[in-house]
Amino acid sequence: MGFRDYLQKLEKSHKLQKISASVSKHLEASGILKAIEPKAVLFEKIKESNFKVAGNVFPTKDSIADYVGCETSELISTINKAISNMKAPEETKNAKCQEVVEEIVDLDKLPILFHCAHDGGNYISSGIVVSKDKEFGQNLDFHRMMQIGKNKFSVRIVKERNFDTFLKKNGEMDIAVCIGNGANVLVAAATSIEIGKNELGIANALEPLTVTRAKTSDLLIPSDCEFVIEGRIVLEEKANEGPFVDLTETLDVVRQEPVLTVKKITHRKDAIWQALLPGALEHKVLMGMPREPTIFKKVNEAGVKCIDVNVNPGGCSWLHAIVKIDKQNEDDGKKAIDAAFEGHKSCKHIFIVDKDIDIYNPLDVEWAMATRFQADVDFKMKAREKGSSLDPSADPETHFTTKCGLDCTASLQVKGKNFSKEPFPQVDLKKYLK
Ligand SMILES: Cc1cc2nc3c(=O)[nH]c(=O)nc-3n(C[C@H](O)[C@H](O)[C@H](O)COP(=O)(O)O)c2cc1C
């Protein structure tokens, strides 16, 4: 379907808010996106650019499920199936993303948003970086990029990501940054799979797509995206990146990060820029949701029957995971804690609950903790481990943090009070409220 066709689908079902008033890319579009979320927005007139901008396009699991054509409850199995059945996309020479080739590189002509007052600059936050290494082949990742001139960005690269490995190995490399993608490409880029596997195969298994050769390198890029920024990134050429309001809605620090020098920009005719508001729901769902299938898989592989996983927005859709299991043995909760950390290494707190708990209702999860959890036996601490670079309370240099798991499942043996909620009497309210 692609980004553009999905916008049309949203419009037909009256789920797209069009804004015809002129809106600035500087602190105005971002404010509107936040005020209106989770509704999708199309800005038809951006003050500083000739391109339209759309944002909040995939802010919920429902929207991603709608795009890939499954029920929301089937997302975990659909993504796991796509990871197991990766399929290389077919190549086309008829690439919509190359309909227009800009002769002069001028990033100021693009609607690169300035999101929050204390950010260090205009940021691309929806860009999918396609990179390639001789040994490992192609890789897809999200990397935020701060504009630092008419043709340069500083690029945030978290250590030990596949792209970090590629860049350290090669010193410098050609990359393509693809903007304006469907949920298949976005979700695939956000998954963490074995190095050496091209995530475009996951995207293609989720929803078929075609690829095309980039103009300045032999990279294969999604041919239906809206914009492609091609350039060369150099590990040792560094510039300030940040501050930046990140996933946790707190201000990330300024770091020295590698510089990308842009060689060419291509785009569709009437291309639509994809905005992705940092810290907002769409950022959260794209970060956290792709970790749910990996947690689900690891818990089941550990011999515990996992029913569902929620990497919930209250935990910044990254630092917390709530795991629902069908408990068969007393030690299932503890096993599930270890396995869930295997499935999401950046997670900080894991909550294991029984099958009667609604993991999308924080009150229900808290109820399980209040009624079924005893800290001296049901608590598992993993002191001083490497955690997420996003956690403001982790060590700022090493990212060491203390992780823990809470087994909030009921004991299989009832000693004293029961662990189940007793039902209230059922009544027909219509008989009483006239
Ligand atoms: C919206 C979004 C923005 C992200 N921004 C960055 C970033 O700026 N730098 C980074 O290293 N990872 C970022 N990530 C995380 C990586 O893209 C993600 O963890 C990826 O799955 C790692 O893939 P890898 O296993 O191929 O290294 C972002 C993820 C999302 C969904």
Average pLDDT for 19-47? 98
Give residue 6 CA to ligand 1 midpoint distance, Å.
23
Name 229's bridge partners.
177, 265
Among the listed residues 119, 246, 308, 378, the single catalytic one is 246
Q: How many CA atoms lie within 13 A of 428 on its CB side?
A: 2
What is the atom index within ligand 1 of the atom nearest the CA of 286? 31
What is the atom index within ligand 1 of the atom nearest the CA of 162? 27
Give residue 311 CA to ligand 1 midpoint distance, Å.
16
- Give the closest residue (by CA) to ligand 1 atom 23: 192
Name 404's bridge partners.
349, 381
Average pLDDT for 147-153? 98
Give residue 427 CA to ligand 1 midpoint distance, Å.
50
Which pLDDT tens digit goes with each residue over 154-203?
A: 999 999 899 999 999 999 999 999 999 999 999 999 998 899 999 999 99
Tokens of 379: 């608590």
CB neighbours of residue 429 within 10 Å: 6
pLDDT at 418: 86
pLDDT at 401: 96
Which pLDDT tens digit goes with each residue over 97-143?
A: 999 999 899 999 999 999 999 999 999 999 999 999 999 999 999 99
Give residue 266 CA to ligand 1 midpoint distance, Å.
23
pLDDT at 434: 84
pLDDT at 370: 97
Tokens of 191: 């998954």
Of the residues 130, 136, 142, 155, which should be mutated to test ligand 1's pocket, given the most ligand atoms within 8 Å of the CB? 142
Evaluate: CB of 129 within 6 angstroms of ligand 1. no
Mark whether 376 is an active-site residue: no
Which pLDDT tens digit goes with each residue over 201-249?
A: 999 999 999 999 999 999 999 999 999 999 999 999 999 999 999 999 9
Give residue 310 CA to ligand 1 midpoint distance, Å.
19
pLDDT at 6: 98
**Euclidean distance between CA atoms 200 and 192, whole angstroms:** 13
User: Strand 272-274 and strand 52-55: pairing?
Assistant: parallel
**Euclidean distance between CA atoms 291 and 311, whole angstroms:** 7
Nearest to 74 by CA among 65, 66, 63: 65
Nearest to 193 by CA among 118, 273, 138: 138
pLDDT at 275: 98
pLDDT at 103: 86
What is the atom index within ligand 1 of the atom nearest the CA of 199? 26
Evaluate: CB of 141 within 6 angstroms of ligand 1. yes
Residue with tokens 């490995």: 165
Amino acid letter, residue 361: N
Evaluate: CB of 192 within 6 angstroms of ligand 1. yes
For the chain, the three-class secondary structure string (H helix, E strand, C coil) is CHHHHHHHHHHHCCCEEEEEEEECCECCHHHHHHHHCCCEEEEEEECCECCEEEECCCCCHHHHHHHHCCCHHHHHHHHHHHHHCCCCCEECCCCHHHCEECCCCCHHHCCCCECCCCCCCCEECCCEEEEEECCCEEEEEECCEEECCCCEEEECCCCCCHHHHHHHHHCEEEEEEEECCCHHHHHHHHCCCCCCCCCHHHHHHHCCCEEEECCCCCCEEECCCCEEEEEEEEEEEEEEECCEECCCCCEECCEEEEEEEEEEEEECCCCEEECCCCCCHHHHHHHHCCHHHHHHHHHHHCCCEEEEEECCHHHCCCCEEEEEEECCCCCHHHHHHHHHHHHCCCCCEEEEECCCCCCCCHHHHHHHHHHHCCHHHHEEEEEEEECCCCCCCCCCCCCEEEEEEEECCCCCCCCCCCCCCCCCCCCCHHHCCC
pLDDT band at 296 (very low <50, low <70, confident <90, very high): very high
Which pLDDT tens digit goes with each residue over 316-366?
A: 999 999 999 999 999 999 999 999 999 999 999 999 999 999 999 999 999
Evaluate: CB of 184 within 6 angstroms of ligand 1. no
Domains of the chain and CATH, by start? 60-275 (2.30.110.10), 290-407 (3.40.1670.10)
Q: Do residues 52 and 42 make contact, with C-beta atoms less than 8 angstroms apart?
A: yes
Which pLDDT tens digit goes with each residue over 267-295?
A: 999 999 999 999 999 999 999 999 999 99
Average pLDDT for 405-432? 94
Evaluate: CB of 166 within 6 angstroms of ligand 1. no
pLDDT at 416: 87
Amino acid letter, residue 271: A
Note if the bond before 290 is cis, omega within 30 degrees. Answer: no
Q: What angle do CA 305, 311, 315 make, to 5 degrees?
A: 135
pLDDT at 202: 97
**Euclidean distance between CA atoms 389 and 349, whole angstroms:** 15
pLDDT surpasses 90 at 417: no
Nearest to 89 by CA among 227, 224, 203, 230: 203
Prediction pTM value: 0.95
